[in-house]
Structure 1
Amino acid sequence: MENIILVKGKVKYPLTLDPGVWIFDDRKVDLTTYFDQEHEVVNELEAYTKSVSEHWDREIKEGAIYPPINKSVKKFEKEKILNGTFAIPVKYFIQNAEPAEEATSVTFLLSNGEEHSLPIEDVVKGLFGFSFNGKPLKENGPVHFYYGNGSNRENPITNIQGISIS
C-alpha cells in the first residue's frame, strides 16, 4: 500500500493511483528530454479523430493491409522502458477526479507528515515522475512532482504519499 496514492478532497470522484502501472501508459513522457523540448498544446480529441479518420481512409483505399512488425523497433522500445526515466502529466488525474468549482489548491501529503500546497493551475501543468533509470521511485517516492516549466527539475517535490484538493 505504500506505493498507492489517494486523491481526495473537493472532488467528484476520489481516485486511487498506482504509479507502478504507468510504465505501460502511452501518456508517459521521457523526463530526461521533456524540459529541453518545445511543447505544443494539442487538442487530444481532435488528434484522435484525425488519426482514426486517416486510418479509415487508408483501409478504404488500400484494404486492411498491416505492415510486418519490425522486431528491432520492439526491442528498442523494450530497452527504453527498462532503462528510461519517465513522468506522466498530472492533468489527466486531476481532470478524472473532477474537482469542485470552488477548488483552488492541491496539497501534496508527504511521508514525513509535511504538506506542500500549490495552486491547482500550477499542478495541472505539472508532471509526476515515477521512474528513474528503469526503476520505480521507492526511496523517496512513489512519485515526484515537477512544475511544467521545469523550474524545480533538479529539486522536485518528493515523498508524495497523498493528494488533497481543496
Structure 2
Amino acid sequence: MQNPSDDTDKQPSTKKAETSNNSITQQDSQQEKALEEIYENLPEEQKEGLTLAELKMAYSGPLPPPGFLKEYDKIVPGAAKQILESTWKEQRHRHRWENLSLYNDIFMQSGGLICGLLLTVGCIAVYVWLIEHNVDWLVAAPLLTPPLLSVALQMIKSKEK
C-alpha cells in the first residue's frame, strides 16, 4: 500500500470525466467496496498500522487550477487556451450585463424623481393659476392634495430608513 503523502504530489488523473454525478457516486462506491474486499483478505499482521487515505480534488470558480489546465492540454491540445479565452469572454459579458443593469436602475430612479417633481410643480402651477383667475379654492384644492400628500409620504419614508 502506498504512503498517503505520496498521493498529494500527483497531478489529477487524465481519466475521461463522468457526465453525471450518479455515475461518479457509483464509481466511488465500487472503489470503496473493492478496497474493503482487499482489506478483508489481508492477513491480520498486515492490517496492523495500515492507514487508508482518500484524496479528492475539487475546485470552484471560473478557472480550474493550473495543474488541471495542463492535464486538459495533454488530452486535447489547445484546450487550456480555449478555457482561458472562454472564461475571459464570459467575464466581459457578465460585466457588460451588470453595468447595463446598474445604468438601468439609475435611470429608473432618476426618471421617477424627475417625473414626480414635474407632476408636483405642474399641479401647484395649475392651482396658483386657478386661484389667480378667481376660481373658488375648494374647487382647486383637489389639484393640490395629491402632490402634497406624495411629498409628505416620501419625507416620512425617508425618515424611517
* TM-score range normalised by the length of the shorter chain: under 0.3
Higher strand share: 1
Q: Which of these two proteins has the greater Rg computed from alpha carbons?
A: 2
Q: TM-score normalised to the size of structure 2? A: 0.23
Higher helix share: 2
